[in-house]
Amino acid sequence: MQASTQGPVGYGQGRTQTTEVVAPVVRVRTGTTVQLGVYLGARGKPSAFVWTDEETAVPAQEIIVRVAREGAWLWEGQSRIDVKTAFPRSKEVARLVRPFEDWQRFFEKYYDASRPQRFFWGRYHNEGLQLARRLQAALIDVAVVRYQRPIEDCRDHGAAEIEL
């Protein structure tokens, strides 16, 4: 952390207070561990990236992103979980609830079981993977997130889960 003090604001208005500049931290999961790294540089402009010696184990909790009927989109094993109760302190995860609900509603609105091949599977899976990756980034220290294609997708019956 760096501290920067600014000069006077204006005549008779005093000085601004000291502000702290926080260096962005990068977390990368490498299979068995989570590596941490930081950007270094002067005046808030990063010029180098350095891995720290700190390592943590990959979390044991596994979460599956999979669409289902009646608003279900997040699973732990075979049971449905609610994001707000499972991760109450994570604001980033709370911000993802609305996009996931929209993604779920799109499936329920446009999927027709009599003509499954006419659904927008490519676009739908791309959006689902993007949301799952954002969830994984928010929960990198807490859980491993996987994306699973729905069983309704006639092109990918029995497709394995995609680990992010």
Does 111 lie in the same domain as 147? yes
Query: Do 12 and 69 have their domain in common?
Result: no
Of 37, 56, 75, which residue is a domain's last?
A: 56
Instruction: State which amino acid sits at residue 116.
Output: P
pLDDT in tens, 36-68: 788 887 777 777 878 777 777 777 788 888 887
Instruction: Please tell me whether residues 42 and 72 are part of one structural domain.
Output: no
CB 28 within 8 A of CB 35: yes
Q: Are residues 29 and 80 in the same domain?
A: no
Q: Go through 4-33 and write b for each residue having 16 or more CB atoms within 10 A of its CB, e for each that does not.
A: eeeeeeeeeeeeeeeeeeeeeeeeebeeee
Sheet holding 79-80: strands in order across? Answer: 79-80, 74-76, 61-65, 143-147, 162-163
Q: What is the pTM of this model?
A: 0.68
Same domain, residue pair 51 and 64: no
- What is residue 83's predicted lDDT score, i.e. its pLDDT? 80
Tokens for 126?
Answer: 């791309």
pLDDT digits (tens, 9 = 90+) for 123-161: 988 999 999 999 988 888 888 888 888 888 877 665 666
Q: Please say which residue of 56, 85, 102 terminates a domain.
A: 56
pLDDT score for 130: 93
| Residues 69 and 142 reside in one and the same domain | yes
Q: Do 87 and 42 fall within a single domain?
A: no
Burial annotation 105-116 (CB, 10 A radius, 16+ → b, else e):
ebbeeebeeeee
Q: Do 63 and 50 reside in the same domain of the chain? A: no
Domain tally, the chain: 2
Residues 105 and 133 both lie in one domain: yes
Question: Domain limits at 149?
Answer: 59-163
Q: Does one domain contain both 43 and 89?
A: no
Average pLDDT, the chain: 78
> What pLDDT, on the 0 to 100 scale, is given for residue 14?
59
Tokens of 132: 């799952």
